[in-house]
Amino acid sequence: MAKEEYEKEMDTLKTDISQLRTDMGELMERFREMGQERVDETKSKARSEVDRLREQLNQAYEKARQEGQDYYDTAQHQLEKHPMTSVGLAFGLGILIGKILSR
């Protein structure tokens, strides 16, 4: 009788251990899925942030390019409007820079 109870307990224990293995496997799979979901979520947020920053950078570049073009156009216009003054100013700056560099 003790042997039958022992075998019955062993079978129950084997079944419980088998169920525990199954449950642990499912639990580990769920943890893996949750981790993958977080990774995917983080990647998505990072991509969105990179896209936002890229757009800001493009806007800043375009603004700086346009301002540079405006300054160039203004300078070009002033040179065309006052050519003698521009030549005199360039000559004076050349002399000044020459004096500074010769020291």
- Helix segments in the chain, DSSP class H: 2-81, 83-102
The structure's pTM equals: 0.51
Spatial neighbors of 54 by CB under 8 A, at least 6 apart, are none
63: confidence class by pLDDT, cuts 50, 70, 90:
very high
pLDDT at 1: 63
Give me the residue spans of the domains in the chain: 2-102
Main-chain dihedrals φ then ψ at residue 82, nearest 5 degrees: -130, 70
The pLDDT of residue 103 is above 80 = no
58: confidence class by pLDDT, cuts 50, 70, 90:
very high
How many residues make up the chain in this entry? 103
Residue range 8-53, pLDDT digits in tens: 888 898 898 889 899 898 989 888 888 888 888 999 999 999 999 9
Helices 83-102/2-81 angle, 10° precision: 110
CA distance linking residue 56 with residue 43, whole number of Å? 20
